[in-house]
Amino acid sequence: MKILRTIGEAQKLTTSLRKKNKTIGFVPTMGYLHEGHLSLVKAARKKADVVIVSIYVNPLQFGPKEDLSKYPRDFKRDELLCRKAEVDYIFYPDDKQMYPDKFSTYVTVENITSILEGRIRPEHFKGVTTIVLKLFNIVQPHFSVFGQKDAQQVAVIKKMNADLNVNTKIIVSPTVREADGLAMSSRNVYLTKEQRADAPYLQKSLQYAKRKILLEGYNKDIEFLEGQMSKLIKSRKTATKIDYISFNDYYTLEEIKSLKNSNNSAILISLAVRFGKVRLIDNIVIKR
Ligand code: PAF
């Protein structure tokens, strides 16, 4: 496994791999890898000749009040995990490489970035799409693997790719969970013991809604379901604020106001909840 620190060496490598008809599978990450990331690597490993993982904590996707400086980092550990997972290359650039002085070009996907996460974190997706397009141009992957946990991120990147004719396939890999249902996230390390014990209620409340819909039919009232989910989450002392609970079309992210008249082939129920300063997201997809 090799570590590529500059855009020049990465682009030279990927150009030559493409000339040799090698399939490049790409997993973009912000490091502090956990089982969730490793499942993305595994999915890439199955289909690619060469697997490239990027590790870069992208300052552009953090808001002014967010946790950029405190975001967990441990490159040595990440390197070890990547080696074990049979990654071929880690692309590990610094800020000067990615955002040199006078950097002034940004990618903005409109509409679907101003709802859900985008309503709470207004500049977040502009940061994500800008860095992801840069990474695609550097790594030149045939396909890229993203986690289902960030369902809105996946929808936004797919929209960017469609609108800008970006030539990499997006593969979505299922969310990896702890035994009690908590979705794996680098941010879980911030949870206190009490918060950690309450956090699985996010998934419990999503499972509750899915069960109700599947067992009692699509005529269930969304307001009722949101109310019950909210009650379940608020029953946990350390869940301090629910930013949103939302029902959307999985593919277009259009909000679903009523299940009765909806003909969506897949419904995304997503939520974001604060446990003190730690903000967690999760979702579930119901396919018809
Ligand atoms: O999902 C993430 O970890 C990040 O948003 C990504 C895609 C690596 C871009 O910085």
Q: Which residue range(s) make up the domain with 52?
A: 2-173
**105 and 208 inside one domain:** no
Q: Give the pLDDT confidence score for residue 235 in this predicted structure.
A: 98
**201 and 264 inside one domain:** yes
Q: Report the number of distinct structural domains present in the chain.
A: 2
Last residue of a domain, one of 146, 173, 200: 173
* Ligand 1 pocket, residue 213 CB under 6 Å: no
**274 and 193 inside one domain:** yes
Name the residue at shortest CA distance from atom 2 of ligand 1: 29
Token pair 């109700």 is found at: 212
Q: Distance between CA atoms of 19 and 40, rounded to whole angstroms?
A: 25
Is residue 196 in a domain? yes
* Ligand 1 pocket, residue 199 CB under 6 Å: no
**59 and 197 inside one domain:** no
* Ligand 1 pocket, residue 168 CB under 6 Å: no
**149 and 214 inside one domain:** no
Residue 218 Cα, ligand 1 centroid: separation in angstroms? 34
**166 and 30 inside one domain:** yes
Residue 158 Cα, ligand 1 centroid: separation in angstroms? 14
Q: How many beta carbons lie within 10 A of that of residue 35, not counting itself?
A: 12
Name the residue at shortest CA distance from atom 3 of ligand 1: 29
In the residue annotation, 124 being an active-site residue is answered as: no
Q: Give the pLDDT confidence score for residue 275 in this predicted structure.
A: 98
Number of H helices, E strands in the chain: 10, 9
Half-sphere exposure of 281 (CA within 13 A, CB side): 21
What's the CATH code of the domain at 157? 3.40.50.620
Q: Give the pLDDT confidence score for residue 43 in this predicted structure.
A: 98
User: Over the chain (288 residues), what is each successive 10-residue block's mean pLDDT?
Assistant: 98 98 98 97 98 98 91 97 98 98 98 97 97 98 98 98 98 98 95 98 98 88 96 98 97 93 92 97 95
Ligand 1 atom at shortest distance from the alpha carbon of 128? 9
Assess contact for 168 and 161: CB atoms under 8 A.
yes
Residue 288 Cα, ligand 1 centroid: separation in angstroms? 29
Q: Distance between CA atoms of 173 and 259, rounded to whole angstroms?
A: 26
Residue 69 Cα, ligand 1 centroid: separation in angstroms? 16
Q: Give the pLDDT confidence score for residue 261 in this predicted structure.
A: 78
* Ligand 1 pocket, residue 28 CB under 6 Å: yes
Runs of H (alpha helix) within the chain:
7-19, 35-47, 75-84, 95-98, 117-120, 124-139, 151-164, 193-198, 201-216, 222-234
Residue 220 Cα, ligand 1 centroid: separation in angstroms? 35
Assess contact for 49 and 74: CB atoms under 8 A.
no
Q: Distance between CA atoms of 188 and 43, rounded to whole angstroms?
A: 23
User: Sign of the CA dihedral 248, 204, 194, 173?
Assistant: negative
Q: What are the Cα distances from residue 29, in Å, to 58, 153, 221? A: 9, 13, 38
SS3 170: strand
Q: Give the pLDDT confidence score for residue 203 in this predicted structure.
A: 98
**164 and 223 inside one domain:** no
Ligand 1 atom at shortest distance from the alpha carbon of 150? 1
Name the residue at shortest CA distance from atom 6 of ligand 1: 29
